[in-house]
Amino acid sequence: MTIDERARELTPPTTPALRLRGISKRYGPVVASDGVDLDVHHGEIHGLLGENGAGKSTLMKILLGLVKRDSGTILRGEEPADITSPQEAVALGIGMVHQHFSLIDALTVWENVILGDTGKIDRTAACRQVEEVSRRYGLPIDPLARVDRLSAGERQRVELIKCLRRDPSVLILDEPTSVLTQAESAELFTVLRQVVRTEDRAVILISHKLAEITAATDRVTVLRKGRVVFHSETSATTPQELARQMVGRDVSLRAEGAALGLLPVDGGRPADTGTAPDTALDTAPDIETGTAPDTETGTASPAPGVVPALRLRDLTVTVDGVTALSDLSLDIAPGEILGLYGVEGNGQSVLGDLLSGLVLPTSGTVEVGGRPVELDRPGALHRAGLGIIPEDRHSSGVVLDMSIAENLVMKSLGDVSGRGFISRRKMYGIARRLAAEFNIVAPSMDTPVRSLSGGNQQRVVLARELSAGPSVLVAAQPTHGLDVGAIEDMYQRLQDAASGGVAVLLISTELEEVMALASRIAVICSGRITGVLPTGEATAERLGMLVGGVAA
């Protein structure tokens, strides 16, 4: 997209498609939304940028009628609108493309598409409509297919079709690219362009990725702690400015930049020009022209002669007849951070589960310190010296309704018990020490982990895992859902662990994160490693191709 195009876009605005005035929402003492004003115009893509917890999703839930606002007004055109249910939002022409939890696996595409409508079901008409919409926007899909058979990209298409079919004048997309490959993202943004250019709809794009916002939007609003802190035409601002507004202070550090979704300033790559972040839009054509990358594939040894701290050999995992990992091999040396990068849903979570002891491989081995681990023995990985920060800490990392102290000792009960009885004194002793060491902020060690902030919960996990003195630390999406301060803290801890000789496997979907932290990057696609390359040789383009499954 060129500057000219943008300029043409920014003709004097007519009545905005949607106006929010003074929207506020409190959850008890927490202010999620504090007098937010927002204008969204027809024919524009409006970026809504903010850290986790800045109030983006609360605002959108209010717009969709899922959450009731405390005060403020919503204007659709000139009319004030009172949205109290998703149906009313639809009636007002507000449509949302959800990223997670919105398609029913057991139903077919057409059934999903008409779900939420009213009136009689007409299957023939529904299928015809699906086909029509899919043709108009170039989103091929079989209306009779069951959703659980579709890929992430196809599901995204269904979401889009479902939304567009209702002919919304305002489209909201919530973090739409997190499960998409760059090619799929490119397809998405092409559709969005068409939607605003030729059909004059308004699009709100919610993201925490700076690169995406700068590349794809016409206008941007930054939220911080529930308030609008910055508003601008996208062309008139820079990623640095946006980053500063998002965090509330200057951003210069590598790690901070990565935390915000900026590529690290490294070598000859200037990051302050505003065009630096390679985006889905820009890289898409490269895939077609096919710049051949020369990457090492398969098992790249970190350094010859060193026994790898963690060695994964030919791991294959089949879940319900679907191969989630196939012949995955990786070596990680002591003191090294290896980034495993890929789009969500390509086997990373299965690998995380495997290294948590939750699933067993169909074939292949895991070696820690040169010795194979008997994976079918409960707790074997932990005893072998492998610590892990699981991807979804709520589901397997912590027990939310047990106390901080209990969560800190749960993997090493032997240390706090004798003859089967738990010594509370010992338990609290260990807990207090770890809490101090890892900055866990809580009223007492008896506090249930549920009532802690995400950052503190993550510190509990980290403290427990590192306190066992592991030789390997696996961090699976360790910064998901954390605010910038907590992310920086996490980065620092991971780097400290590595410089202390721990081998770190960083599983991440954030390109910027692996670029900033890892010394080597392995790319995973459809459960296999498509390439391993030193970070110095990695560029967004090369990684992008590997992520798309285009191996050398």
Partner 1 sequence: MSAADDISTILSSGIRLTVPLAFAACGEYLAERAGTMNISLEAMMLGAAFGSVATASATGSATTGLVAGVLIGLLIGFVHGNLAHRLEVNTFVVGLVLNALVLGLTSYLITISSFDSHQVSQVSVPWLRDIPLIGHPLFVERWPVYLLLLVIPLTWWLVERSRWGLELRAVGEQPQAADVTGIRVNLRRRQALLWCGALAGLGGAYLAVGEVGSFNQNMTAGRGYIVIAAVIFGAWRLGRTLLGCVLFGLADAMRLALPALGLTMNSQLLVVAPYLLALLAMLVFTTRNREPKALGQPFVRGST
Partner 2 sequence: MNEREDLGSGDVLRRLLSNLNPGPSGWRTGAATILALLVALTLSSLLIAVTGGSPVASVEALFQGSMSDLTAWSSTLLYAAPLLLVAVGACVSARSGLFNIGQEGQVLIGALAAAWVGLRLAITGPLLIVVMLLAAGLAAGGWAGLSSLMYRLRGVNVVVSTLLMTFVAQQIVAYAVNTPWLLQESRIGNAIVSPQSNPLPSSALLGSIGEYPGLQINAGLIIALIAAVLIAVAISRTTWGFKITMLGRNPLAAKHAGVRVTALGGAALAVSGAFAGLAGAVLLASPVGVNRLQPGLSMNIGWDGLLVALVARNRPLAAMPVALLFGVLRSGGGFLAATGVPSFLVDVVKALLVLAFVAPPVVVALARRRRSGDRTAGARREAAPVAEEAIA
**Which residues would be at the binding site for partner 2 (CB under 8 A)?**
25, 27-28, 67-68, 70, 356-358, 378-380, 382-383, 388, 390, 395-403, 406, 410-411, 413, 417, 420-422, 446, 448, 450-451
CB of 26 within 8 A of CB of 306?
Answer: no
362 binds, among partner 1, partner 2, none (CB under 5 to 8 A by kind): none
468 binds, among partner 1, partner 2, none (CB under 5 to 8 A by kind): none
Q: Smallest gap, in angstroms, from Cβ of residue 380 to partner 1? A: 27
Contact 552, 532 (CB under 8 A): no
Of 76 and 193, which has the nearer Cβ to partner 1? 76
Q: How far is the CB of 25 from partner 2 (least distance, A)?
A: 8
Query: Which DSSP category does 448 fall into?
Result: B
- In the stretch 96-135, what mask flags binding to partner 1 with x, by CB under 8 A? --x--xxxxxxx---x--xxxxxxxx--------------
Which of 249, 243, 204, 247 lies closest to 57, judged by CA? 204
Q: Least separation, in Å, of the C-beta of 317 and partner 2?
A: 16
SS (H, E, C) 130-163: HHHHHHHHCCCCCCCCEHHHCCHHHHHHHHHHHH
Nearest approach in angstroms of CB 480 to partner 1 is: 14
Q: Does 229 participate in binding partner 1 (rule CB under 8 A)?
A: no
CA distances 113 to 104, 108, 139, 334, Å, are 10, 9, 14, 50
Which partner in partner 1, partner 2, none is near 111 (CB below 5 to 8 A by kind)? partner 1
Spell out the SS3 assignment of 26-70. Answer: EECCEEEEEEEEEEECCCCEEEEEECCCCCHHHHHHHHHCCCCCC
Q: Which of 1, 10, 31, 66 binds partner 1 (CB under 8 A)?
A: 66
CA distance 335 to 457: 25
Judged by beta carbon, residue 28 or residue 267, the one nearer partner 2 is 28
Q: Which of 547, 522, 539 has the alpha carbon at shortest distance from 268?
A: 539
Under the binding rule (CB under 8 A), the answer on residue 289 touching partner 1 is no
Residue 253 binding result from partner 1, partner 2, none, given CB thresholds of 5 to 8 Å by partner type: none
Q: Could you tell me the smallest distance in angstroms from the CB atom of residue 416 to partner 2? A: 9
Nearer to partner 1, 115 or 303 (CB): 115
Rounded least distance, CB 120 to partner 1, Å = 7
According to DSSP, residue 236 is labeled G
What's the min distance (Å) between Cβ of 444 and partner 2?
Answer: 10
Exposure of 37 by Cβ count < 10 A (0-12 exposed, 13-18 middle, 19+ buried)? middle
Cβ 316 to partner 2 shortest distance, Å: 21
- Look at residue 378 and give the partner it binds from partner 1, partner 2, none, a contact being a CB closer than 5 to 8 Å depending on partner kind: partner 2
Structure tokens at 206: 């919610």
- Out of partner 2, partner 1, none, what residue 410 binds, judged by CB under 5 to 8 A for its kind, is partner 2
- The interface region with partner 1, picked from 83-91, 270-278, 439-447, 451-459 by CB under 8 A, is 83-91
87 lines the binding site for partner 1 (CB under 8 A): yes
Nearer to partner 2, 345 or 357 (CB): 357
482, 451, 50, 28: which is closest to 226 by C-alpha?
Answer: 50
Task: Spell out, one character per residue from 26 to 65, where the chain touches partner 1: x when CB under 8 A holds, - when not.
Answer: ----------------------------------------
Kindly determine how many residues on this chain lie close enough to bind partner 1 according to the rule CB under 8 A: 23
| Shortest distance in whole angstroms from residue 88 CB to partner 1 | 9
**Residue 90 binding partner per list partner 2, partner 1, none, with a CB distance cut-off of 5 to 8 Å that depends on partner kind:** partner 1
From partner 2, partner 1, none, interface partner of 70 (C-beta below 5 to 8 A by class): partner 2
Return d(Cα 163, Cα 204) in angstroms, integer: 13
125/410 with CB nearer partner 2: 410
Tell how far CA 397 is from the center of its chain. Answer: 18
Count the helix, strand and coil residues of the chain and give each as a percent rounded to the nearest 5. Answer: 35, 25, 40
Task: Round to whole Å and give the CA distance between 452 and 443.
Answer: 10
| Closer to partner 1 by Cβ: residue 89 or 474 | 89
400 binds, among partner 1, partner 2, none (CB under 5 to 8 A by kind): partner 2
Q: Please identify, using beta-carbon distances, which residue of 136 and 450 lies nearer to partner 1.
A: 450
Residues 6+ apart with CB under 8 A from 490: 458, 462, 475, 478, 479, 482
Instruction: Give the x/- contact pattern for partner 1 in 303-332, rule: CB under 8 A.
Output: ------------------------------
CA 434/CA 419 separation, integer angstroms: 24
Shortest Cβ 113–partner 1 spacing (Å): 10
Distance CA 213, CA 221 (A): 10
User: Burial code of 185-215, b = ≥16 C-beta within 10 A, e = fewer?
Assistant: bbbbbebbbebbeeeebbbbbbbbbbbbbbb
What CA–CA distance (Å, rounded) separates 222 from 248? 11
| Residues in contact with 99: Cβ distance below 8 Å, sequence separation at least 6, in sequence order | 174, 175, 176, 178, 179
- Strand 202-207 to 421-422 pairing: unpaired
CB-neighbour burial class of residue 101 (10 A; exposed 0-12, middle 13-18, buried 19+): exposed
As beta bridge partners, residue 45 has 203
Closer residue to partner 2 in complex, CB, 384/522: 384
Indicate which of partner 1, partner 2, none lies near residue 115 (CB less than 5 to 8 Å, by partner kind). partner 1
Among partner 2, partner 1, none, the one that 236 touches (CB under a kind-dependent 5 to 8 A) is: none
Binding residues (CB under 8 A) for partner 1: these are: 66, 85-87, 89-90, 98, 101-107, 111, 114-121
